[in-house]
Amino acid sequence: MVRMESIAVIFGGRSAEHDVSVVTALASVIKPLELTKKYRVEAVYIAKDGAWYWDDKLKDIKLFTSGEIQNYLHRTQPSSVQFDGGMTLVKASGIAGRKQHRKIDLVFPAMHGTYGEDGALMGLLDMAGVPYVGCGVSAAAICMNKVLAKRVALGSGIPISKYVSFAKTDLERNASGLLKLLDKELRFPVFVKPAHLGSSIGISRATNETELRNALEVAAHYDDEVLVEEEVPNLIEVTLPVIGNEQPQAALLERPMTKAEDFFDFETKYLQGGKKGKGKGGGSKGAQGYSQIPADLPKGLYSQAEKLGLKVYQVMGCSGIARIDMLIDEKAGSVYFNEVNPLPGGLYAHNWNKAGMSNVELVQRLVGFAKERHAARQSLTTTFGTNYLQQF
């Protein structure tokens, strides 16, 4: 009998986006992977304290929504991971002290934010030599640092909105000097963002100096690097889900149906089901609430944004999957790159569904891209024989 490939879906983690990750993993990754009936799917949950747990029980969303997860963690021994020229999950079997092992063929990271989406987990998986879904170390690290992503974009001639960035220590040392600099460089309204966090955590819109001061404090509460950028006038926000490696494929350009003052914060995105954005027709409810898919834009502007999104994907070195957020000045007809999300919440399956791709097909293709990328990396020379040691 042919052995089924084992895919470990890793989710949770020590990140402010821990809860979002649980929803992504259970609803958008594990379920469709199991529906393929091609893989043995292993749920690997990283708790908020960093301990790893491997258990089929973790596939049940009720465990998390009911709060029962705390009791589960209380009574369960964390699992361990063996790096044995690959990756093997290990846990107590409950029978006479014996251990249960599972060799993992491929990893599907479903972790948002710090340690999961920022390249840290990818580094571990690269070291283990296991193929994995999504962006590699460098692309993930660039994309998850909004300041770095802007610098890379700028270096590649990709238009971005005007911004100022600084370290938290600058704010602590000389807040008034910094406020003066911001006043000189940027015009209100501005958006203040922690450089590294996703899911809109810690992002505020400021229209005056008092709001700006408070917004800086909030962003610095979450991160050691802060970004302040000018709001694009006549704003239309759009986002483009993209998958693939060398030849990326875009889904449909999506327009979140929110007003500028109700821009997507964490609350709107994930906690209110996007109700602030609910309104005019044509909306579709996804991970980010109600949005227009495809975005109702003039043909030229739509195609301009689509081209820019695909270019950003390649410039950042993305692979597997990502979502490119862009800002459009409707009157000027200008499109600006905003940020890249290397693991879109819920994989943005709602958009891919509209583009004609089912959840099952989406995860299968992502697994395919992971294998393709891994094979390409395997073909590179990383070691070669020398007589250096003998000569030492």
Partner 1 sequence: MQVVVDNLITNCELSGKGKLVLLLHGWGDSLRGLAPLQSELSKHYRVLSVDLPGFGNTEAPPAVWGLDEYGRFLAALLRKLELDELYALIGHSNGGAIAIRAIAREVLSPKKLVLLAASGIRSDQSARRFAFQVIAKTGNVATAWLPNRYRDALRRNLYGAAGSDLFVMPQLQETFKKTVRQDVQADAHTLKLPVLLVYAADDETVPLKHGEKYHHLIVGSTLKVVQTGGHFLHQQQLPVVADSIEGFLK
Q: Is residue 204 a contact residue for partner 1 (CB under 8 A)? A: yes
| Dist CA 347 CA 332 (whole Å) | 32
Q: Is residue 51 a contact residue for partner 1 (CB under 8 A)? A: no
Output the smallest distance, CB 33 to partner 1, in A: 31
Task: Compute the radius of gyration of the chain from its Cα atoms.
Answer: 22
Q: Is residue 202 a contact residue for partner 1 (CB under 8 A)? A: yes
- Binding footprint of partner 1, residue count (CB under 8 A): 14
Q: Is residue 48 a contact residue for partner 1 (CB under 8 A)? A: no
Q: Is 252 helix (H, G, I), strand (E, B) or coil?
A: coil
Q: Is residue 214 a contact residue for partner 1 (CB under 8 A)? A: yes
Candidate segments 102-110, 218-226, 250-258, 368-376, binder of partner 1 by CB under 8 A: 218-226
Output the smallest distance, CB 67 to partner 1, in A: 8
Q: Is 277 helix (H, G, I), strand (E, B) or coil?
A: helix
Candidate segments 3-11, 86-94, 217-225, 295-303, binder of partner 1 by CB under 8 A: 217-225
What separation in angstroms does the CA of 150 have from each of 170, 222, 340?
A: 20, 20, 10
- Of 66 and 358, nearer to partner 1 (C-beta) is 66
For the chain, the straight-line distance linking the first and the last C-alpha, in angstroms and rounded, comes to 51
Q: Is residue 379 a contact residue for partner 1 (CB under 8 A)? A: no
Q: Is residue 207 a contact residue for partner 1 (CB under 8 A)? A: no
Strands 255-256 vs 289-292: parallel, antiparallel or unpaired: antiparallel
Q: Is 11 helix (H, G, I), strand (E, B) or coil?
A: strand
Q: Is residue 286 a contact residue for partner 1 (CB under 8 A)? A: no
- Of 40 and 278, nearer to partner 1 (C-beta) is 278
Q: Is residue 221 a contact residue for partner 1 (CB under 8 A)? A: yes
Contacts 24+ apart (CB under 8 A), 255-262: 255/291, 255/292, 255/293, 255/295, 255/296, 255/297, 256/288, 256/289, 256/290, 256/291, 257/283, 257/289, 257/290, 257/291, 257/292, 258/289, 260/189, 260/205, 260/231, 260/235, 261/205
| Cis amide linkage into residue 294, ω under 30° from 0 | yes
Output the smallest distance, CB 71 to partner 1, in A: 5
In the structure encoding, which two tokens stand for residue 149, read together? Answer: 């992503």
Q: Is residue 210 a contact residue for partner 1 (CB under 8 A)? A: yes
Q: If you ran DSSP here, which 8-state letter would residue 343 be given?
A: S
Angle of CA points 337, 313, 359, to nearest 5°:
110
Positive/negative CA dihedral, 99, 102, 103, 104: negative
- Of 71 and 378, nearer to partner 1 (C-beta) is 71
Q: Which of residues 69-98 bind partner 1 (CB under 8 A)?
A: 70-71, 74-75
Output the smallest distance, CB 226 to partner 1, in A: 13
Q: Is residue 62 a contact residue for partner 1 (CB under 8 A)? A: no
Output the smallest distance, CB 72 to partner 1, in A: 9
Q: Which of residues 264-283 bind partner 1 (CB under 8 A)?
A: 267, 271
Is-contact 112 28, C-beta < 8 A? Answer: no
Which of 170, 217, 361, 372 touches partner 1 (CB under 8 A)? 217
- Of 42 and 231, nearer to partner 1 (C-beta) is 231
- Of 81 and 92, nearer to partner 1 (C-beta) is 92
- Chain contacts with partner 1 (rule: CB under 8 A): 70-71, 74-75, 202, 204, 210, 214, 217-218, 221-222, 267, 271
